[in-house]
Amino acid sequence: MGGRWSVRFPQHEGFKCYALISGQCWLCVEGVADPVQLTNGDCFLLPHGRPFTLASDLTLKPVDAYTMFPLPPHGAIRSVNGGGDCSGVGGYFALAGNHADLLLRVLPPIVHIQRESDKAAMRWYIEQMMMELRESRPGGFLLGQQLASIMLVQALRLHLAEGLKGGVGWLFALADKQMNAAITAMHNAPGYRWTLQKLSERAGMSRSAFAMRFKETAGTSPMEYLTRWRMLLAGDRLTSSADPISAIALSLGYESESAFSTAFKRVMGCSPRQYSRGRNPASPSHSEREAARANQLEPAIG
């Protein structure tokens, strides 16, 4: 980007992840009171899909992004006013899976990575991505995709390490090493017959202390969390596989289909058969349907 400019991006699904390579500009996100000044090396994530504006001058009337940037081929480079003053690289992540809200609902509207040590941790990935975009070598698009995914996970890790103290939710619980151990165990073996005692042993705590801290950090009890996780996994299989309900129930630790169906309806708001036919009252919003594979991001973050 060169000269004076202001570009408004419409509402979007999934994540957007950007890094400012050179120069500086302003970021304004709908619903966030104060604009954010971005400087060389800053990275930011926009997880809630809100419209946003990037600008060199906040007094300028913004131009629609798709007017200024006709949808380019994947990995294309575009410039405004000849470029030279400010440059950046960004990626869009369409997310799949109804369980993405586990991640999205605990993130702020803007995840801003601005500490020098954190920016240094991201710099190599950014430089490699720009090299792939500029040189158009064989396999460049594939490498660009992988680098973008790494940037996203690294940014979430940095945010998790720096900014999630004192909050409540799944991501906050991951920041606690003992709670992380219990959550990872549930995620890795959802069909295992977990008890409060077995989970507390994974965390290296007494049962009562573990139950109290889990509720404080995750906002729910360990067994309620496990049940919801199982039902989210079941929902995915009901809509993406031909597995019978009895097999799904057994794989998730339920001895009978009726017990599974009762738990599913309580958590998801409809029966497994209704859910598989798309008639579920608790059907996720459009943004959630496009949301991140939270069960894949979680092991990388945790």
Whether residue 261 has pLDDT greater than 60: yes
Domain co-membership, 143 together with 267: no
Has residue 91 been placed in a domain?
yes
Domain co-membership, 40 together with 138: yes
SS3 275: helix
Sign of the Cα torsion 127, 133, 136, 137 reads positive
Last residue of a domain, one of 132, 163, 194: 163
At residue 64's C-alpha, the angle toward residues 58 and 66, to 5°, is 140
**What CA–CA distance (Å, rounded) separates 13 from 11?**
7
Amino acid at 255: E
Has residue 28 been placed in a domain?
yes
pLDDT digits (tens, 9 = 90+) for 140-151: 778 877 887 777
Domain co-membership, 193 together with 280: yes
Rg (CA), the chain: 22
Work out the pLDDT band at 289, boundaries 50, 70, 90. Answer: very low
Structural domain range at position 287: 170-301
Domain co-membership, 19 together with 155: yes
Domain co-membership, 31 together with 154: yes
pLDDT digits (tens, 9 = 90+) for 15-71: 888 888 889 999 999 999 899 999 988 888 888 889 999 999 999 999 998 877 766
**pLDDT in the model for residue 35:** 94
Work out the pLDDT band at 105, boundaries 50, 70, 90. Answer: low
Has residue 142 been placed in a domain?
yes
Domain co-membership, 47 together with 109: yes
Count of domains in the chain?
A: 2
Domain co-membership, 252 together with 277: yes
Q: Could you tell me the pTM of the whole model?
A: 0.61
CATH of the domain at 212: 1.10.10.60
Domain co-membership, 47 together with 151: yes
Domain co-membership, 30 together with 93: yes
Assigned token pair, 108: 């702020």
Last residue of a domain, one of 135, 163, 191: 163
Domain co-membership, 207 together with 151: no
Say which residue, 111 or 37, is predicted with more confidence.
37
Q: E strands along the chain, which residues?
A: 6-9, 15-22, 25-29, 36-38, 43-46, 52-55, 63-64, 87-93, 111-113
Has residue 23 been placed in a domain?
yes
Closest Cα partner for 176 from 188, 166, 186, 187?
166
N-to-C CA span, the chain: 37
Domain co-membership, 213 together with 158: no
Amino acid at 14: G
CATH of the domain at 39: 2.60.120
pLDDT digits (tens, 9 = 90+) for 158-170: 777 665 555 666 6
Last residue of a domain, one of 163, 185, 202: 163
Has residue 1 been placed in a domain?
no
Domain co-membership, 156 together with 44: yes
